[in-house]
Amino acid sequence: MDLPSPQSYPFPLEGDIRSAQRDPSWPKIVTNLAALYGDHAEFDGFLKRLAACMDAARSVRPQRLKTLDAARAADPDWFLGASAIGYSAYVERFGGNLQGVVKNIPYLQRLGVRYLHLLPFWKARDGDNDGGFAVADFRQVRPDLGTTADLAALTEALSDAGIALCADFVLNHTSDDHPIAQAALAGDARARGFYHLISNPVEVAEWEAGLGQVFPETAPGNFTWRAELSAYVWTTFYPFQWDLNWSNPEVFLEMASAMLDLANLGVEAFRLDSAAYLWKEKGGPSKALPQCHLILQALRGVCEAVAPCVKLKSEVIGPVAETAPFLGDKYHPECHLAYHAGLMTAGWAALAEGDADLIRRVLAEAPPPPPHAGWITYVRCHDDIGWQSLAPQMAHLSAEAREARLRKIAAFYDSGATYARGVAFQASGSGVHGLNGMAASLTGFETGDPSALARLRLLYGLAFAAGGLPLIYMGDELGQLNDPSYRDDPDRQHEGRWLHRPAFDAARADGQDAESAAVLAMFEALRRARMALPPLTHESAPLVVEMEVPGLLAFSRGADALCLFNFSSEAIPIGRIAFPLGTDVFTSRPSAAIDHLAPFGMVWLTRGPAA
């Protein structure tokens, strides 16, 4: 089998780099790529081919997108402003297909959404495909969801509505039925170079000694034997997801080319899946190595040169010390957005413990993002809640005490002994791994707890107030519950994360359910309050105000905003710490008249009159 061309444009193998050299991003691109591939004999030819790829992509970029590039350049922080709200959903669960998503744009506008993250909709492996993350073709839409023409129509319709589309771009691996993987299976030497293939089991064992496991229950280990190759394939995630060999410059060229193709269809942001796993070194976990950052910085440079409106979002889920570096710094900008996973997990822990200590620690340890970059702040997503993200904030405890504390937090949500209805994820072995469940089920809606709405409001209030881009996970705005139906589906029953991937409930969205109407009203109030409090932007990081009351979280945003949250089930007096003159943006009550926070209550105080 012939290896398919790694380029979508018919550019020559040897290109003219003069136009690329005139681009301000080119020196940065070359510097990063030289550090990665400079010792390759064909490095100069690789640069020429990359330059030709970029020139070809620039030459066919639609005029409407060039106009968008200019508009975004004039407002580079548009995605971090007080009016920016994100929304995340699976295409098939939200609209059925891409055309169905177009029909739901008015609903997104009603929520105030300006950034829509649609989870993988690319052609995926048949059968089990890790929720679409086992990509069989980076340039083709999954046939049951539409076509590339449908995608271009969707991005244009979204752009007309003031919404940017974020698409997943799986950097670490392809599916085993990707054309390049199939060519490798057929014996193509060049295709084999796209993957990590090891024939010696002793060497595999040496690698494994330093590696962790992403799915210890359903996919233990990091290598899969393939008899057709007479080799083990590196498979960090599932056996059908083959890790790409990013030490091969051909991989960079193929992925950069695919990214530019998608940017020219109108994709405005890429969620760079599994970005921490790209580079491998024996003797350690092969995670978040310096070369990963060089790759992402080079990809950013390529996008800046061809499609300046494009934003990159790092999909690195872990403690804040692990996620923050993927934003880069003032002199080495990397991704524009990163998940504030530690803050998300700390919010759930605070509810379980009735103590905001872990949130305070996460906020205190989070570095301010570099210019034109920020955090994704969120409550739930398609993935599990990983408790180990909080381990650094418990470093003052012994290993045994830390493990016991995490187990107690996890049990609060997955034991069935409280108001919460969650299910443990990958937790049969040692350690505490994760939790599955919709936010509504985890806060008490499923059990009819009277404080459920207050808890949901508290967690999303933290996400909306902490800075960056707040992200709503589809169904949370309607109070949708866990979906256990996946257990009856042979293709999904092994994957517990489908518990929190219900289908969009259109009846609830139409206001036919009183409970959902109340949740929607709550989100509308959060949106209005955020816009009414200008300091709630990326330009003023949360400054924790230390409190003697464990359940009380307080942080200022600039000189004129103070946000207070009660994570306990008891009322907390707050009169002595409120602004002497000011108002709560939610109720317009003067701060002097607010003497306590109700259980799971929240106020955002501002100096001066409320909007």
pLDDT digits (tens, 9 = 90+) for 381-406: 999 999 999 999 999 999 999 999 99
Sign, Cα dihedral of 178, 183, 186, 189: negative
Query: Is the pLDDT score of 2 beyond 90?
Result: no
pLDDT tens track for 503-539: 999 999 987 899 999 999 999 999 999 998 877 777 7
| CA angle, residues 243, 246, 251, in degrees to nearest 5 | 95
Tell which residue, 154, 532, 183, 469, has the closest CA to residue 338. Answer: 469
Phi, psi angle pair for 364, to nearest 5°: -70, -30
581/604 Cα distance (integer angstroms): 13
pLDDT at residue number 229? 96
131/135 Cα distance (integer angstroms): 10
* Tally of CB atoms within 10 A around 474: 25
Architecture of the domain delimited by 543-606: Sandwich (2.60)
Q: Which amino acid is at 78?
A: W
State whether residue 176 is helix, strand or coil: coil
Least trusted range by pLDDT, from 55-59, 188-192, 430-434:
430-434
pLDDT at residue number 6? 36
Query: Is the pLDDT score of 13 beyond 80?
Result: no
403 as an active site residue: the answer is no
pLDDT at residue number 608? 63
Q: Which DSSP string do the residues of 334-357 spell out, in sequence order?
A: --SEEE-HHHHHHHHHHHHHT--H
pTM for the model stands at 0.94
513 as an active site residue: the answer is no
Q: Are 542 and 557 in contact (CB under 8 A)?
A: yes
Q: Are 252 and 295 in contact (CB under 8 A)?
A: yes
pLDDT at residue number 559? 84
Q: What is the mean pLDDT of residues 368-377?
A: 95
91/165 Cα distance (integer angstroms): 12
pLDDT band with cut points at 50, 70 and 90 for residue 216: confident
pLDDT tens track for 548-585: 899 999 999 988 899 999 999 999 998 767 666 689 99
87/103 Cα distance (integer angstroms): 16
Residues in the chain: 611
Least trusted range by pLDDT, from 211-215, 335-339, 433-437, 537-541:
537-541
7/452 Cα distance (integer angstroms): 51
User: In three state form, how does the secondary structure of 85-152 look?
Assistant: EEEEECHHHHCCCHHHHHHCHHHHHHHCEEEEEECCCEEECCCCCHHHCCEEEEEEECCCCCCHHHHH
pLDDT band with cut points at 50, 70 and 90 for residue 607: confident
Q: Are 86 and 107 in contact (CB under 8 A)?
A: no
205/232 Cα distance (integer angstroms): 11
Q: Which amino acid is at 318?
A: G
Q: Which of 273, 334, 414, 584 is catalytic?
A: 273
pLDDT band with cut points at 50, 70 and 90 for residue 17: low
pLDDT band with cut points at 50, 70 and 90 for residue 5: very low
Q: Which of 315, 355, 446, 476 is catalytic?
A: 315
CA 418 and chain centroid, separation: 29
pLDDT band with cut points at 50, 70 and 90 for residue 475: very high
Written as six digits, the tokens of 97 are: 């297909």
Tell which residue, 20, 92, 82, has the closest CA to residue 533. Answer: 82
Contacts of 62 (CB under 8 A, 6+ apart): 264, 266
* Tally of CB atoms within 10 A around 600: 25
pLDDT at residue number 611? 45
| CA angle, residues 474, 479, 483, in degrees to nearest 5 | 70
pLDDT tens track for 310-345: 999 999 999 999 999 999 999 999 999 999 999 999
| No. of helices (H) and no. of strands (E), the chain | 21, 25
Query: Is the pLDDT score of 610 beyond 50?
Result: no
Least trusted range by pLDDT, from 82-86, 212-216, 235-239, 513-517:
212-216
pLDDT at residue number 307? 97
Query: Is the pLDDT score of 372 beyond 90?
Result: yes
pLDDT tens track for 63-120: 999 999 999 999 999 999 989 999 999 999 999 999 999 999 999 999 999 999 999 9
Least trusted range by pLDDT, from 200-214, 225-239, 496-510, 579-593:
579-593
Least trusted range by pLDDT, from 8-12, 160-164, 595-599:
8-12
pLDDT at residue number 4? 35
Query: Is the pLDDT score of 42 beyond 80?
Result: yes
* Tally of CB atoms within 10 A around 266: 24
Query: Is the pLDDT score of 8 beyond 60?
Result: no
Q: What is the mean pLDDT of the chain?
A: 92
526/565 Cα distance (integer angstroms): 14
Q: Are 367 and 563 in contact (CB under 8 A)?
A: no
Give the residue ranges of DSSP H helices in 171-229: 179-185, 189-192, 201-208
Q: Are 471 and 460 in contact (CB under 8 A)?
A: no
250/13 Cα distance (integer angstroms): 12
